[in-house]
Amino acid sequence: MKAAVSAGSLLLEYSGDRVKTSPKESLRDIVTEVDMYAEKKVISILRKADPGCQILTEETGRLTGTRGDKLWIVDALDGTVNYVNHIPLYNVSISCVEKGNPVVGVIYNPVLGDLYYGAEGYGVYRNHVRIKVKDGVPGECLFAAAFSGKKYDPASRSEEFLAFEKVNDTSRGCLRTGSASLNLSYVAEGRLGGCWGKANKIWDIAAGIIIANLAGAHVEYHYLNPEKSLVSYAVAVPSAWDYLSGIVLPRK
C-alpha cells in the first residue's frame, strides 16, 4: 500500500506537466518518463520492505532476487493514455504472487483517492470500507472491456469488436475505460457486472484479479504467451458469468 500510494502521489505531482511520451508496440501503447519515475519509486519501496524478492515490472522487466517463492508484479501507471490526456482514470497496480497464485493486490487511483486492497484471508476493501461484488443479471449490469495494446491485427481485432458489440447491445452497456485495473476494481466494488480483456499484460491485471476474486467475482485467466506476459481473462459477478464467458471466452 505504501508503494502504491507513494507512486500515486508522484503521478499526481507530474500530472499537470507536459509529459514526454515514447511509443511502444502501437499508437496506444506508450510510455512516459513518469511511468519510469513511478516504477523506480515502487521498486525501491518493495526492495526495502521485502529484500530478496523478485519483481516483474512493466518497464524494467524482471528483477531477480534471492527468494524464488515470491514475485511482486508492478504496473506503476496503468492507463498511461488516460494519464497523458488528463483523464483521471489511471492507477498504480501492485500484486504479490506466491507459488504462481496472486495473494495480495493493491490498486490506487491517486486522483480519486481510491485505494483498493485485498489479501487472501484478510478480506478486500476500498479505503476503509469492506467491498463485495453486486450480483445481478446481465441485463442490469454494466461491463467493461480492455482491448489489447498490441500491434493491429485485423482478425483478432475484429473478434474483440464483435464481443464488445454483443455485450454492449445486450446489457446496460460496455465501457472501454483505458485501465484494466480500474475495470477489475470496479467489478470488485459492485460498480461493474464484469470485464474482460484479450492479450493484456499480466501487470495490468494481477492485482485486480485477486481483488475481484476476494470480493466474490468469478475469475478466469490464462496465459497466451508467458514469455511476453500476455494474458486473457474474464471476470464477472456470479449471475453474469455464464453470459459474459459465453461471449468473450473461446469455446472449449
Residues in contact with another protein by the rule CB under 8 A:
1-2, 5-6, 9, 113, 115, 117, 122-123, 125, 127-130
The CB-of-22 to another protein minimum distance in angstroms stands at 30
Evaluate whether 30 touches 21 at the Cβ level (below 8 Å): yes
Three-class HEC string of 94-130: EEEEECCEEEEEEEEECCCCEEEEEECCCEEEECCEE
The CB-of-67 to another protein minimum distance in angstroms stands at 21
Q: In the beta sheet, which residues pair with residue 62? A: 56
Nearer to another protein by C-beta: 4 or 231? 4
Query: What does the alpha-carbon distance between residue 216 and residue 58 come to, in Å, rounded to a whole number?
Result: 28
The answer for residues whose C-beta is within 8 angstroms of residue 30's C-beta and 6 or more apart is: 21, 22, 23, 24, 80, 81, 84
The CB-of-129 to another protein minimum distance in angstroms stands at 8
20 grid coordinates: 514526454
Query: What does the alpha-carbon distance between residue 229 and residue 224 come to, in Å, rounded to a whole number?
Result: 8
Q: In the beta sheet, which residues pair with residue 125? A: 117, 130
Nearer to another protein by C-beta: 131 or 195? 131
Nearer to another protein by C-beta: 5 or 31? 5
Nearer to another protein by C-beta: 125 or 164? 125
Nearer to another protein by C-beta: 48 or 151? 48
Nearer to another protein by C-beta: 3 or 240? 3
Nearer to another protein by C-beta: 26 or 127? 127
The CB-of-138 to another protein minimum distance in angstroms stands at 25
The CB-of-183 to another protein minimum distance in angstroms stands at 21
Q: Where are the beta strands (DSSP E) in 120-228?
A: 123-126, 129-130, 142-146, 173-175, 194-201, 218-225
The CB-of-208 to another protein minimum distance in angstroms stands at 18
The CB-of-75 to another protein minimum distance in angstroms stands at 19
Evaluate whether 196 touches 235 at the Cβ level (below 8 Å): yes
